[in-house]
Amino acid sequence: MQNNLPPLTASTLYLVATPIGNLEDITLRALRVLKECDVVAAEDTRRTGQLLQHFEIRKPLLSYFQFNEAKRSEEIIERLRQGQKVALVTDAGTPGISDPGERVVAAAVKAGLRVESIPGPCALVAALTASGLATDEFHFIGFLPHKSGQRKKALERLRETPGTSVLYESPYRVGKLMQELVEIMPDRQVVMARELTKKFEEYLRGTPAELLAITEKRSLKGEFVVMIAAADEKTAKLRVEEESEEQE
């Protein structure tokens, strides 16, 4: 690592991306920020503590997660105003992408403080680029609502969304998601990516019905990135015609 790099900037919130599975994916820049910052704000201090220990980094840890965001955001802003350098990390991946971080970033920007992103691992990008689906236009939804009615409405909106739709899903609901897609978008090509960057990384490709059959036969572990291909022009045209007939 170069020794002539400029020091970190005081009163800056650093958003540090951390590995989503494979520890080799940590960047040299991320390691330097974690070593040189004053405090690390972490979604899970135990998990981040293990990460820091692996790389022989010792830093004070500040718990920052969904249910204490408001209080911790105020504390982080105060630390930044005092000139501290704060590194924000989540359990895995890039802060703010379906993980805590959005609120404190907005608060820091509103307060006129500096925010710097330290790019690195992101499940969304890792999965999409290897999916084989279109990447020129895509729409990221994050996690769907848990309630069935809200989930159905969200998926129905996606049916007419151009480009590839990307969402996250837990192993406990991925079978339910395939059932919903069988009803709402049965003809689409879907790619499910799981255990990204880990030993058992896997991409499952097919129609919702084909993937549903797989989920019923196998116990699939790990968080999923689910990517839904856009409707082709022919399919979209048929759907519009069908809806017009129903309205008549």
Q: How far is CA 28 from CA 5, 13, 119, 220, in A?
A: 12, 18, 11, 33
Which of 121, 145, 162 lies at the terminal end of a domain, its last residue? 121
What's the confidence (pLDDT) of residue 233? 41
* H or E stretch covering 74: helix 69-81
Residues 183-223: pLDDT tens digits?
999 999 999 999 999 999 999 999 999 999 999 999 999 99
In one letter, which amino acid is 159?
R
- Nearest partner of 170 among 151, 149, 189, judged by Cα: 151
CATH number at residue 27: 3.40.1010.10
| DSSP-derived 3-state class of residue 212 | helix
Give domain status of residue 100, yes or no.
yes
What's the confidence (pLDDT) of residue 4? 79
Which token pair is 176?
Answer: 């339910």
Q: What is this structure's pTM?
A: 0.88
Largest Cα separation within the chain, whole Å, is: 72
Within 10 Å of residue 227's Cβ, how many Cβ atoms?
26
Which token pair is 234?
Answer: 């022919």
Number of independent structural domains in the chain: 2
Same domain? For 86 and 49 the reply is yes
Which of 121, 154, 181 lies at the terminal end of a domain, its last residue? 121
Give domain status of residue 5, yes or no.
no
- Give one DSSP letter per residue of 108-172, joined into a string: HHHTT-EEEEE----HHHHHHHHH-S--SSEEEEEEPPSSHHHHHHHHHHHHT--SEEEEEE-TT
Same domain? For 206 and 128 the reply is yes
DSSP tag of 78: H
Give domain status of residue 244, yes or no.
no
124 pLDDT above the threshold of 70: yes
Residues 147-185: pLDDT tens digits?
999 999 999 999 989 999 999 999 999 999 999 999 999
Same domain? For 95 and 19 the reply is yes
Q: Which domain holds residue 169?
A: 124-238
Cα dihedral sign, 82-18-167-116: positive
Same domain? For 94 and 140 the reply is no
Q: How far is CA 149 from the centre of its chain?
A: 23
* H or E stretch covering 215: helix 208-217
- State percent of the chain over pLDDT 90: 84
Residues 7-57: pLDDT tens digits?
999 999 999 999 999 999 999 999 999 999 999 999 999 999 999 999 999
Rounded to an integer, what distance in angstroms lies between the CA atom of residue 195 and that of residue 220? 10
